[in-house]
Structure 1
């Protein structure tokens, strides 16, 4: 019987199973934390040290046992209550401590399986977050959890619920790891073929994807300044309304694609009409952490590009925009760009530096062949990149459904 069938069978059993509802503080032991600051945690942290100290959110420190008073070290499997900021529960079954504004629970009752209680409390996090949201800094107090009633079925049912939910958690993690590994593989393949196809200098021999073989003999090398013109964008502030999308440096992601969320808009005033984009225009970020990232504007709606972007205009009879885009993702481009970028507080790759970068330019038919091959790898990589969160979200939604149903005990009148 698979896990889903087992879950469905157990859900049916739960509907008629006897259950008691008792306050958390009556059935579990609450423990205190240790007095420590975030600065001290940072100073004391040692990679691979045996004792974990929890703070809010995902923050923690690994320390030695001698670094914390023995009375503040907890060795029982426990539920840690993260009571400030992002309010949530975490399960931990190794020696630990936590900051003293937090607290934790463990069980000394042989009829209470602590991990079962943890799974139940995870379904109640929104309830506690709503309580905490009434404070200026979201937070809850010990009475909020001590007095909260939880359902207590038989120990056998608790153990069966935990076994199923553990399995769903494991399956979800395995799926995510598998898809991440597949995505990493596809990215490496795209990178390999992109750098191979554009490596005209080294004359690497051999056949490659889709019948494209050998290296070209009639490639010319030119600087970008010889084949293109570069225009800085419109210096203005984005608005919440307008007739054209205002594309900013933050709208180009690390993969050289336009980010669809968080759009800002602008009115197309007479002075900014010359900054309107046409389909297949190339834009490059010229400053900050994303300097050098290049995207192709492939949309049909009106858009204006902002001041920290440079529009790249090439003669399409010499250089295909998509061929250049693949070049701008590759090692040959970045090896040159990283030498030309200016230092200071914010790295800058300005138009004068960009003009100095050299690019191999094969005949247009060969550019089209190379582009077609690389487009296939890019499409495959992106389909996995987009599909990965979707697949994980579907599995997580399925898991959450069963978790909710397995913990939906009827309340007594």
Structure 2
């Protein structure tokens, strides 16, 4: 982040201007096209992508698109209806004319706008609430929106950082998608490929009724439980026993209810994939259910039915029942003719047990890739929020030391390591001690630090007056005169030292251990770096500021302890003269230095 901080200090130290989108970006119009026409012209090898509402996207040939208004420059698409969102696209595309897009002559600024709008997407979704059966925003909502606009070099660095996080998340998401495909294969096989299981029409073993009566305006804190149909797409999985929201008592009393074991199914959506998405209600208390839903009451295993309603076999059946263009609907009473494979409850229970395990692998936020994606997403959002937060007059980002340390810990958790500068995790000791409290065993000067990382000897000189630097057990002391002598010691006690010795103390032992830091600063790469910035010819002195800028990699605390344990063993072998003849000692020393350098060298994740 130091490069970005430097750019901000150079180009906008006092803040950045905020500009309205309409005053800086060009608004683009879409193509007048219906959902029916999109279905007709869809082609897998089409060179033009067409965006409609929600997840509806097709490829088509330009010649087949009537009154085509093709966007050929990178742009940010405003998905203004249904689930409000933003899409960045840099290849030829068009979109339904109920939406719009923005572009600019500088490609970086376009991508920067996308990140700004995505960062504040909740603002736009709140602006859209309450506008008809599907949320919608109008052009003034985005036209009047003010965007913080730093200098172009700052924008480039922000976009570069956020692009890297987006790529990492996309790679993990792709692996998770592959797992989900495998899961869906097993799920569909378990649910449908047994000729001995009878297929029964839903209406023959279940009662199907409509939900209805409460609206989003009835939401309150600490009210009575409810499920709104839109939440089934965005929040709920296969089953739930708690609700996201609650409503007031009056609205609850007037609403249709789902009881424990009922299925709540959303029967209205913008696309065929989401319509009929279901959640099994497993909570003990009856819940209010909004309109655009079906409530399915039965005596079967609710999770089994909910799993079936997410299968490909059900998808094929619901597709025949769906109707509408802009809004896709399935009339609840037509669901009665859906055929469901219905084994005994004992078999349903066993199937659910197996499917729950598969579902956990793909969806449980506490294990596997989803946990890593979740953590990386939080990391990305943290960076995004920080990078896109500007004050019109004031400081910029990541100036808080505690925030920086939290970020390092987050990187260690997500990636397994963090690339840091020494100043991120350590500082020069500021405490002082009176010279009269020191003796030959507690005073450390350059003269009693031994060359070639051999530690210290008793001091032949101890000052008798003045206040000296007060080192503590666990501090790393480095001789700052003639760094090529490689004088370094990990303090085993408290004491005092002078200004010719660098006393480095760690800031937080939850991020790095003192022994690991000692091994890092004992490496040849550090002393080479120290000499590179040393000043003076006959008696060079290390540059204290440059030392704090030294960069290296710190793994998790657990991994640090493992590395230290290994290096300690080599250290013992190399220093214990009783371990063998001098040649063996020399061989061990070389092995030690080889393994130390290998263990402390990490390949950066691209």
Aligned to 1:290: none
Aligned to 1:115: 111
Aligned to 1:346: 337
Tell me, in whole angstroms, the C-alpha distance in 2 between the residues paired with 1:187 and 1:346. Answer: 24
Tell me, in whole angstroms, the C-alpha distance in 2 between the residues paired with 1:164 and 1:23. Answer: 25
What is the CA-CA distance between 1:115 and the residue it aligns to?
0.6
- 2:385 matches 1:404: yes
Instruction: Tell me the secondary structure at the aligned position of residue 42 of structure 1.
Output: helix
- The one-character-per-residue Cα deviations of 1:1-38 (angstroms, maximum 9, x if unpaired) are xxxxx4x7536754774132222122221111122222
- 2:34 matches 1:37: yes
Alpha-carbon contact 1:30-1:105 (below 8 Å) kept = yes
What is the CA-CA distance between 1:135 and the residue it aligns to?
3.3
Tell me, in whole angstroms, the C-alpha distance in 2 between the residues paired with 1:59 and 1:70. Answer: 20
Aligned with 1:106 (options 85, 103, 106): 103
**CA shift in 2, pair 1:403/1:127, >3 Å:** same
What is the CA-CA distance between 1:77 and the residue it aligns to?
0.5
TM-score normalized by structure 2? 0.39
- 2:65 matches 1:61: no
Q: Over aligned residues, Cα RMSD in angstroms?
A: 5.7
- 2:75 matches 1:78: yes
Aligned with 2:375 (options 382, 394, 402): 394
Aligned to 1:10: 4
Tell me, in whole angstroms, the C-alpha distance in 2 between the residues paired with 1:102 and 1:191. Answer: 37
Instruction: Tell me the secondary structure at the aligned position of residue 87 of structure 2.
Output: strand
Tell me, in whole angstroms, the C-alpha distance in 2 between the residues paired with 1:190 and 1:132. Answer: 37
- 2:45 matches 1:51: no
- The one-character-per-residue Cα deviations of 1:136-166 (angstroms, maximum 9, x if unpaired) are 3533332332232212212222111111111
Aligned with 2:361 (options 384, 407, 410): 384
Alpha-carbon contact 1:14-1:406 (below 8 Å) kept = no
Instruction: Tell me the secondary structure at the aligned position of residue 394 of structure 1.
Output: helix
Aligned with 1:132 (options 128, 135, 148): 128
**CA shift in 2, pair 1:15/1:349, >3 Å:** same
Aligned to 2:171: 174
What is the CA-CA distance between 1:406 and the residue it aligns to?
0.7
Alpha-carbon contact 2:30-2:100 (below 8 Å) kept = yes
What is the CA-CA distance between 1:90 and the residue it aligns to?
1.0
Q: Unpaired segments of 5 or more residues in structure 2?
A: 191-196, 199-204, 212-237, 245-259, 264-281, 287-294, 314-334, 395-606
What is the CA-CA distance between 1:237 and the residue it aligns to?
11
Instruction: Tell me the secondary structure at the aligned position of residue 108 of structure 1.
Output: coil
**Larger RCO of the pair (alpha carbons < 8 Å, separation 6+):** 1
What is the CA-CA distance between 1:178 and the residue it aligns to?
2.5
- The one-character-per-residue Cα deviations of 1:267-292 (angstroms, maximum 9, x if unpaired) are xxxxxxxxxx9xxxxx9x9xxxxxxx
- 81-90 or 115-124, larger mean C-alpha shift: 81-90
Tell me, in whole angstroms, the C-alpha distance in 1 between the residues paired with 2:207 and 2:41. Answer: 49
Aligned to 2:17: 20
Tell me, in whole angstroms, the C-alpha distance in 1 between the residues paired with 2:187 and 2:100. Answer: 49
Tell me, in whole angstroms, the C-alpha distance in 2 between the residues paired with 1:375 and 1:38. Answer: 37
Alpha-carbon contact 2:7-2:153 (below 8 Å) kept = no
Q: Unpaired segments of 5 or more residues in structure 1?
A: 1-5, 195-222, 225-231, 239-256, 264-276, 278-282, 286-298, 313-324, 335-343, 360-370
Alpha-carbon contact 2:26-2:103 (below 8 Å) kept = yes
**CA shift in 2, pair 1:153/1:70, >3 Å:** farther
Alpha-carbon contact 2:21-2:147 (below 8 Å) kept = yes
Alpha-carbon contact 1:79-1:89 (below 8 Å) kept = yes
Aligned to 2:252: none
Aligned to 1:143: 140
**CA shift in 2, pair 1:189/1:74, >3 Å:** closer
What is the CA-CA distance between 1:116 and the residue it aligns to?
0.9
What is the CA-CA distance between 1:184 and the residue it aligns to?
5.7
What is the CA-CA distance between 1:61 and the residue it aligns to?
3.0
- 2:145 matches 1:164: no
Instruction: Tell me the secondary structure at the aligned position of residue 100 of structure 1.
Output: coil
**Which residues of 2 match residues 304-383 of structure 1 at below 5 A?**
309=298, 346-347=337-338, 381=358, 383=360
Tell me, in whole angstroms, the C-alpha distance in 1 between the residues paired with 2:98 and 2:75. Answer: 16
Tell me, in whole angstroms, the C-alpha distance in 2 between the residues paired with 1:259 and 1:307. Answer: 15
Aligned pair count reads 301
**CA shift in 2, pair 1:54/1:234, >3 Å:** closer
Larger radius of gyration: 2
Aligned to 2:568: none
Tell me, in whole angstroms, the C-alpha distance in 2 between the residues paired with 1:393 and 1:46. Answer: 34
**Which residues of 2 match residues 260-271 of structure 1 at below 5 A?**
260-261=241-242
Tell me, in whole angstroms, the C-alpha distance in 2 between the residues paired with 1:114 and 1:139. Answer: 23
Instruction: Tell me the secondary structure at the aligned position of residue 48 of structure 1.
Output: coil
**CA shift in 2, pair 1:39/1:58, >3 Å:** same
Alpha-carbon contact 2:78-2:87 (below 8 Å) kept = yes
